[in-house]
Structure 1
Amino acid sequence: MTDTVPQPTATTPHVGQSLPRREDAALITGRGTWTDDIAPLGTVHLALVRSPVAHARIGSIDTTAAREATGVVTVLTGADLFDEFVAGIPCGWPVTEDILVPDHRPLARDEVNHVGDAVAVVVATGAAAARDAAELVVVDYEELPAVVDVEAALAPDAPLVHEEFGTNHCYTWPLAVGDVDAALAQADVVVEGRYIQQRVMASPMEPRAVVVTPDAVGGGFTIHTSTQVPHFVRDILAAICGISDTKLRVVAPDVGGGFGAKLNVYAEEALALVLARRLRRPVKWTETRSEHHIATTHGRGQVQYMTVGATRDGKILGMKVRLVADMGAYLQLLTPGIAVFGAFTYCGLYDFGAYDFSCQGVFTNLTPTDAYRGAGRSEAAYAHERVLDDLARALEMDPAELRLRNLHPPFSEPRTVPSGVQYDSGDYEPCMRRALELVDYEGLRAEQRRRREAGETVEIGVGIGNFTESGGLSPSKVAAGVRLQSGGWEAATVRMTTAGRAEVVTGTSPHGQGHETAWAQIVADSLGIDPADVEVFHSDTMIAPFGRDTYGSRSLAVGGSAVYGAAEKVVDKARKIAAHLLEASEDDLQFSGGVFSVAGTSGPSITIQEVAGAASLAADLPEGMEPNLTADHHFDPPNFTWPFGTHIAVVEVDTETGDTRVRRFVAVDDCGRIVNPQIVDGQLHGGIAQGIAQALYEQATFDEAGQPTAATLADYAVPAASDLPGFDLDQRVTLSPTNPLGAKGIGESGAIGSSPAVVNAAIDALAARGVTHLDMPLTPQRVWRALSEGPVRGASIVS
């Protein structure tokens, strides 16, 4: 990006320009409003009494001492509050008809199933007083055997997380396209690999928080909560607590990071609501960092078995995928669907004939898993890129050449891929070749050979992460057998005021994506006005009653398209009014730069601002025309979007210490039409940082009893900026045919392509020393041990 940003003129499109984010001024000057900043008069605070053991029956709960503590208003258990809830916390994505869904109450009554499972709630006049009193609650736990290993949980004699089910098996979801066994039988080379997606934590700068304020007059409640999904919060809390959704106003103020962990409705939100109803006063809870590690959903958590067969010259014939996915102790909103969602992208960018996928969901006595940036697709890209490198080694072929031989040819209309779904559009080879050019792939290979010949102790490796992802979370209708119950349509309203400015109401709820800036650019271009004259409203269910919120790289492709559609409806109405006022035919009017004029003449013209004023006064409108320039639009796309890219990591591995450093990182992405290049770069920076963090640093670990061994940021390694390289970014544009903007999405791409690129690079550096397999995170100890203990082989060559 250049230092100077081109300034659009009245006729230059604003879409495509790096306009400064209008959201940033308040945030960088400390004028943001976070949920924890909100404290209405009379607010009381919650603290949760959480289980210190992973699995136990609850004997008795003695709250006597806690009730007598200074500042305590009340102390309540699961039994005390059981009747306050109409239902438990729901699973919103039951992927099969026979899935096992455990009852999940906001407070456990009889049994706890993971460390952090809440059993009682303390309400006090201050947050510190509530936490102090919570430590006085005495709970008698009858500890039970726990199971923490997702594969061991399937053994016949494994401890049962939920005894009533008689099994830890939650569901099996299959997908088969073609005869994969026949394809593998025809292959010259078949490789099998086992790869681990470790558990990770979102670790946002702002932990979760909620404030519920009763309305003394109307009988409703205003819920401020740090969430990605205010509309989901409203609808689900209404169902859990037996309150009409018309009585719930949910507001997401500034949100300090979500990363999927705030794509959920949690026990603490339900507890705050029922206690506000019970006490008739504002109730507040703010998560501590240690609570985040045990009570907020984790990401990933899979064991991946990959089998790929190819001809001797590297043509892939078939792929078999077997997943064992860790659900944790309960099913949160999307828990069972995350692994299944990746089913359609394990085939990646590659064109072959037969594909077979199966996923087993399994209960363990650990914190529930759910969405984490790149959910499902990141796991898929990691597996297919790892196994392709293993295949390249088996074929003694350059890994870049193997990939180039198997890419789909260019397509601008939907193309059916091995997993049976239709990708919207793609042009993969130029994207990959551009990345290879930027990184100087041949030069790096030459440097690698020189270092090895010289016997240097610091090895260099190059790793490729090709990927595509199903973004735009859509359509509303069931597709490809996935009972997807999120995503779908999006709503928007655009209206012009009497003064000729524009107001936009969007159903998406940003938490760093830059919607206020990008949506203003879209509307400004449609209406022919300055983006500074466009105000964007969001994240409040009273202002925007309809919406499907923000996740899954859907905001621009679906939400932005809804905004665009509403703006175009406004222009259509304005055209009718302008034609009436100019005494001209609509068909003869041209609209450019915000001005309606009669084509081919130098006659009178009228601006859209003047039309807005006339529409507001309504003194001279066409017969039957309603006043004001305003329009609603719902956009429900016909298919997902499929962003793609090639990420290449260059790493250096110190073979004496195991230290692995990313020296350079190149990413060439195609996210369709780009509204604001600076925002795209920012989204990529954040996503790549998270992907590198999973590859090198982060892992939620537990001992055999289910006790977390990375329960603080002293143990759970989140990288700092100084741990990361600069990123060399480039973009290509392949328009999506599924939406009027041609957009695909970029919010998760960085987290999808980066992890496999880094791990493949590290293994590439060490393969000559006999190490062809490493599991994430590549800590210095893990790498050093692999080097010290002799050859560590990866995928098996079975034919």
Structure 2
Amino acid sequence: MKFGIGQSVKRTEDIRFVTGQGQYTDDLHFPGEAHAAFARSPHGHARIAAIDTSAAQAAPGVIAVLTWKDVESFGANPMPCMAPLHSRDGSPVKQSPKCLLAKGKVTFTGEAVAMVVAETYAQAVDAAELVAIDYEPLEAAGTLEAAPRGAQIWDSAPGNECFDWAAGEEEKCNAAFAAAAHSVSVEMVQNRVAPTSMETRNAIGHYDREKDFYTLWSGNQGSGGLRERVAKAVLNIPVEKMRVVNKDVGGGFGMKGFMYPEQPLVLIAAKQCGRTVRWSSDRTEAFLTDDHGRDMITKGELALDKDGKILALRVTGTANMGGYLSQFSPFIATLAGGRIFGGVYRVPTVFAHVKGYFSNSGPIDAYRGAGRPEAAYLMERLMDVAARKSGIDRIELRRRNLPAPSELPYKNWFGVSFDSGDYPRMLDMALDRADAKGFAARRKQSQAKGKLRGMGLAYYVEITFAVGNEPARVVFTQNGAVELYVGTQSNGQGHETAFAQLVAEKLGVPFESITVKQGDTDWVNGGGTGGSRSLNMSGGALLGASDEVIRKGKVAAGQVLQAGGAEVAFEVVEGVGKFRVAQTDRAMTVPELAVTLKRDQVPGFENGLDSDATFQGKASTFPNGCHICEVEIDPDTGKTEIVSYRVLDDFGRVINPMLVAGQVHGGVVQGLGQALCENMVYDAESGQALTASFTDYAMPRAEDMPDIAFAYEEIPCKTHEMGAKGCGEAGTVGALPALISAIADALDVDHIDMPATPERVWRAIREKKAA
């Protein structure tokens, strides 16, 4: 089938993007709208002694100036953390009372203190500078390293400790280490990164006083979840009193999956001012106030027997939470990746212990991969070091510890069950594709040019969040076109194309007649996009709704085609779906029947073939694969060039190989960016952000990135109908360990921390020579 499953169909949504027809939140305009800007803290930690808004209120064009008093007068709650995490003693995480506008103190640079609403954006910005805020600077703990011994940020968290989480069997793990023939340890840093989506955050709020109804337009990763948090958790209003609308979204990477203060604030301001109020972040605000990712320090220890079989893994880590808790940050630092500590390898015993700390820096939450890159990086670095210390070839060491297909489903130490895959074969295939046997010759060629060459590899696994309930709807228009309503949200992945392919093949309707509708809580209230869940969840719901279309269609076609009790069958032949009366030539296509039912208002089928379904995801899926990277390093400058990058993935059933390749390429580049150059830096003593612009924050450039050779094997998962495993975050999961493995191999060292900048690499070379 030309546009069916498995075909590399070009993205239908790209036509409007490349012709300027995309519609992002900032493209929307409303009569009489006003503009918002914020007075933000220049301090990492300070007490607010007084706020004087009189000069700002008197400035040209100003409609209103809001502070925490206005927020409390509205009756709004502080923003909650929603991660159901408990410390090892059973106590819940320490909460941080995050007011929408700072009350009493500020805890990170860029925190909003006052909101100015004016006739124009320029007037709002100018007036925000006139808000006189009397700060009393406090000692700050601006980094994770400074947090445990730094100035206390929240009264509820002595020593700035937010949680003390542990999982696994500590005594059993200790016993395994005591009996081990080999044990190795590596301490590694997960550098903080800024999401830097092309479209910055935004929000437009409207309040209908007559209906007592709120409407929020905001680029996000799931309108249903955002409505739940803004309406119920913060504004204390029924969700039925709010609509959230999301148009096109220019990148999310996890960061747009959360609620931010500006979203409820534009609604509060809209009600107070009687005007539609809009706000868009500038790039500096984005660097300061978007939730960042990673920022952990982890010590991993691995115990092996004399034959290189893994006996135990011990993980001890600290995680930065920032100045206050975002919605899921404690979960990201612990369970999100902790459940798969050990990767796909046979690891009988694990003990993990992670402490989270508040610091005077921007909040941390999910960033592409969200805990799984951290877990893969930890295990793969340990495998490389274990190979060096034990004298066992690093490829052979991995082979000895990978479960065979006959061992699946394999349940890991946490109880997570890997249902499908062929890890040994995938490893061998990846090595063959990368011509690993020819690496020694390539290294000699690089040495002849005065370069250091290294090869890195990583076998990763990730766990997706394809669980829970997800609704979808299939609707036929009066002319037989098909509209698919989903509650997930594309922010660059190509959902409109993939979902249309699923339904086109299932129902045999023309691909070009299908339109995907998303991002509006008036349509479908779904779970949004995140954790590589969209294909399995919304795709599963669309297949369920399509099954209902077929069920209804058989009954309806029996009436319309006057089957007289004869069986009506449904079949898709050469891409066309038809209902046919058995042993006759009486038949109708799906669109023909849908149009007839609505046009003629056939009794019992007044809504035609329109159908709803809710998919129930009962198990996670486990994308996995092998990344192999080769680098050349100039020993005089420390500059690293990635000369080869190959990926072999098992994503289960692949709906659109072209879309999948795009997701892998993007994910790999984000991982390589973190490993090579990206680093969001704060001053430890003041909490000042030192890299809050593209001048200081180094993004990966096209000229620095390699050609990424991507291939895939389809080993269907056994827990979801489609057999798909998800692909959106996998590239990032494998890229971090693969690149650092290659650099460490080139330098002949155990480990080098990220980002492996030219300076850091150059110093490692000098230290190696000095030793």
TM-score of the superposition, structure 1-length normalised? Answer: 0.92
Alignment of 1:65-80 (within 5 A): 65-80=55-70
Give the distance between the partners of 1:423 and 1:579, measured in 2 at CA.
45
- What SS is found at the alignment partner of 1:594? strand
Equivalent residue for 1:176? Answer: 168
Q: Which amino acid aligns with 1:302?
A: M
Equivalent residue for 2:534? Answer: 555
Change (3 A) 1:434 1:134: same
> What's the CA shift string for 1:351-399, capped at 9, x where partnerless?
1311112221111111110010000001111111111111111112322
Displacement of 1:598 in angstroms is 4.9
Displacement of 1:773 in angstroms is 2.2
Give the distance between the partners of 1:586 and 1:412, measured in 2 at CA.
49
Within the candidate set 693, 704, 720, 1:712 is matched to: 693
Give the distance between the partners of 1:535 and 1:183, measured in 2 at CA.
57
Change (3 A) 1:118 1:588: closer
Which range is displaced more, 494-503 or 46-55? 494-503
Change (3 A) 1:186 1:412: closer
Displacement of 1:625 in angstroms is 6.2
- What SS is found at the alignment partner of 2:70? helix
Displacement of 1:588 in angstroms is 6.4
Within the candidate set 348, 358, 362, 1:353 is matched to: 348
Within the candidate set 55, 62, 78, 2:45 is matched to: 55
Equivalent residue for 1:35? Answer: 25
Change (3 A) 1:129 1:403: same
- What SS is found at the alignment partner of 2:21? coil
Give the distance between the partners of 1:732 and 1:410, measured in 2 at CA.
14
Give the distance between the partners of 1:627 and 1:132, measured in 2 at CA.
54
Which range is displaced more, 367-376 or 63-72? 63-72
Within the candidate set 719, 730, 750, 2:731 is matched to: 750
Q: Is the 8 A contact 1:701 1:709 kept in 2?
A: yes
Q: Which amino acid aligns with 1:597?
A: R
Alignment of 1:221-240 (within 5 A): 221-239=214-232, 240=234
Give the fraction of aligned pairs with identical amino acids, expressed as a percent.
38
Tell whether 2:130 aligns with 1:136.
Answer: yes
Equivalent residue for 1:373? Answer: 368
Q: Which amino acid aligns with 2:160?
A: N
Q: Which amino acid aligns with 1:344?
A: R
Equivalent residue for 1:328? Answer: 322
Within the candidate set 630, 636, 640, 2:620 is matched to: 640
- What SS is found at the alignment partner of 2:255? coil
Give the distance between the partners of 1:167 and 1:22, measured in 2 at CA.
53
Tell whether 2:192 aligns with 1:199.
Answer: yes
Alignment of 1:555-704 (within 5 A): 555-580=534-559, 581-583=561-563, 589-592=569-572, 593-598=576-581, 601=583, 603-617=585-599, 627-704=607-684
Q: Which amino acid aligns with 1:725?
A: P
Equivalent residue for 1:777? Answer: 755
Alignment of 1:533-548 (within 5 A): 533-544=513-524, 546-548=525-527
- What SS is found at the alignment partner of 1:265? coil
Which range is displaced more, 408-417 or 370-379? 408-417
Tell whether 2:284 aligns with 1:295.
Answer: no
Displacement of 1:635 in angstroms is 0.9
Q: Which amino acid aligns with 1:55?
A: H
Q: Which amino acid aligns with 1:676?
A: N
**Gaps in structure 1 of 5+ consecutive residues:** 1-7, 476-487, 794-799
Equivalent residue for 2:452? Answer: 459
Query: Number of aligned pairs?
Result: 759
Give the distance between the partners of 2:312 and 2:659, measured in 1 at CA.
38
Give the distance between the partners of 1:496 and 1:208, measured in 2 at CA.
34
- What SS is found at the alignment partner of 2:710? strand
Tell whether 2:301 aligns with 1:311.
Answer: no
> What's the CA shift string for 1:239-269, capped at 9, x where partnerless?
2112322221111111111111111100011
> What's the CA shift string for 1:521-576, capped at 9, x where partnerless?
111111111111112111111122x2000011000011111111111111111122
Tell whether 2:434 aligns with 1:447.
Answer: no
- What SS is found at the alignment partner of 1:489? strand
**Gaps in structure 2 of 5+ consecutive residues:** none
Equivalent residue for 1:4? Answer: none
Equivalent residue for 2:339? Answer: 344
Change (3 A) 1:31 1:150: same
Tell whether 2:421 aligns with 1:421.
Answer: no
Give the distance between the partners of 1:576 and 1:729, measured in 2 at CA.
46
Q: Which amino acid aligns with 2:668?
A: I
Tell whether 2:714 aligns with 1:736.
Answer: no
Within the candidate set 92, 99, 109, 2:82 is matched to: 92
Change (3 A) 1:585 1:462: farther
Give the distance between the partners of 1:500 and 1:74, measured in 2 at CA.
50
Displacement of 1:436 in angstroms is 1.0
Equivalent residue for 1:724? Answer: 705
Q: Which amino acid aligns with 1:330?
A: Y
Change (3 A) 1:237 1:451: closer
Q: Is the 8 A contact 2:4 2:505 kept in 1?
A: yes
Equivalent residue for 2:248? Answer: 254
Alignment of 1:378-393 (within 5 A): 378-393=373-388
Displacement of 1:313 in angstroms is 2.6
Tell whether 2:193 aligns with 1:213.
Answer: no
Change (3 A) 1:684 1:85: farther
Give the distance between the partners of 2:257 and 2:406, measured in 1 at CA.
33
Displacement of 1:171 in angstroms is 1.2
Change (3 A) 1:206 1:446: same
> What's the CA shift string for 1:561-618, capped at 9, x where partnerless?
111111111111112222443526676625223112356x454333223322343256
Q: Is the 8 A contact 1:46 1:123 kept in 2?
A: yes
Q: Is the 8 A contact 2:154 2:160 kept in 1?
A: yes
Change (3 A) 1:172 1:384: same
Change (3 A) 1:85 1:449: farther
Question: What CA RMSD, in Å, does the superposition of the two structures yield over aligned residues?
Answer: 2.0
- What SS is found at the alignment partner of 1:290? helix
Displacement of 1:498 in angstroms is 4.1
Give the distance between the partners of 1:353 and 1:657, measured in 2 at CA.
43
